[in-house]
């Protein structure tokens, strides 16, 4: 009587059992998708149409936005959003106007997020960039987050650079990324497409 070969399904099932037996090894773990990597260098992120440029970590994703959002820079649970809002009202230019804008911005944030706790705020005056910076803890998308937010006023617009990280990671991410990106922000007249 001729020998009947075993059906391939039995062989496949036996292999699956052997492979599954290796799963669940305590020494291996899935990559933490929320972890925020340290930057492995910085690159220029230039948006001429919006008159915005800054330095972004090379190993963070740049995801183009649609107006008024220019781009999102992200890695794990770390995120930086960049927006350009056109303004018809006069923009703050003097120290007194910038201070009034700073106070109004903090009040607006506190009104929008009753859980917000202000850590610091300051006026920024650099060549070709006048603005306000606010650092604080609040709730973003249902999660407690620290944020560093820069609001620059130029060329008929308010340029906003908002950086977020979880509370436990903020000090490291802020030092390695958020503060550096905020300091690198430059604004110019938008180029027409």
Closest CA to 82 of 141, 139, 163: 163
Residues 158 and 151 sit within 8 Å (Cβ to Cβ): yes
What letter would DSSP give residue 94?
A: S
Domain chopping of the chain, boundaries:
42-187
Per-residue pLDDT reduced to its tens digit, 92-137: 999 999 999 999 999 999 999 999 999 999 999 988 899 999 999 9
Give the tens place of pLDDT for each residue, 72-90.
999 999 999 999 999 999 9
Q: Which CATH number fits domain 42-187: 3.40.50.720, 3.40.50.1100, 3.40.1000.10, 3.40.630.30?
A: 3.40.1000.10
Query: What are the pLDDT digits (tens) for 139-170?
Result: 988 889 999 999 999 999 999 999 999 999 99
- pTM recorded for the entire structure: 0.80
Where are the extended beta strands (E) located within the chain? 42-47, 52-57, 61-64, 69-75, 78-86, 117-126, 129-140, 143-154, 157-166, 186-187
Question: Is the distance from CB of 126 to CB of 103 less than 8 angstroms?
Answer: no
């Amino acid at each position: 009587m001729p020998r009947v070969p075993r059906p391939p399904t039995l062989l496949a099932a036996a292999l699956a059992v052997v492979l599954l037996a290796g799963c669940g090894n305590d020494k291996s773990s899935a990559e933490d998708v929320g972890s925020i990597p340290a930057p492995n260098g910085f690159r220029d992120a230039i948006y001429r149409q919006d008159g915005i440029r800054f330095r972004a970590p090379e190993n963070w994703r740049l995801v183009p936005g649609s107006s008024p959002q220019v781009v999102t820079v992200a890695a794990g649970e770390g995120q930086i959003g960049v927006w350009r809002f056109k303004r018809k009202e006069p923009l703050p230019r003097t120290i007194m106007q910038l201070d009034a804008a700073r106070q109004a911005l903090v009040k607006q944030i506190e009104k929008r997020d009753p859980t917000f706790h202000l850590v610091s705020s300051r006026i920024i005056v650099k060549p070709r960039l006048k603005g306000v910076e606010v650092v604080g803890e609040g709730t973003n998308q249902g999660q407690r987050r620290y944020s560093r937010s820069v609001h620059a006023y130029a060329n008929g617009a308010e340029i906003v650079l908002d950086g977020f990280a979880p509370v436990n990671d903020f000090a490291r991410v802020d030092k390695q990324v958020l503060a550096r990106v905020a300091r690198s922000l430059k604004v110019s007249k938008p180029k027409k497409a």
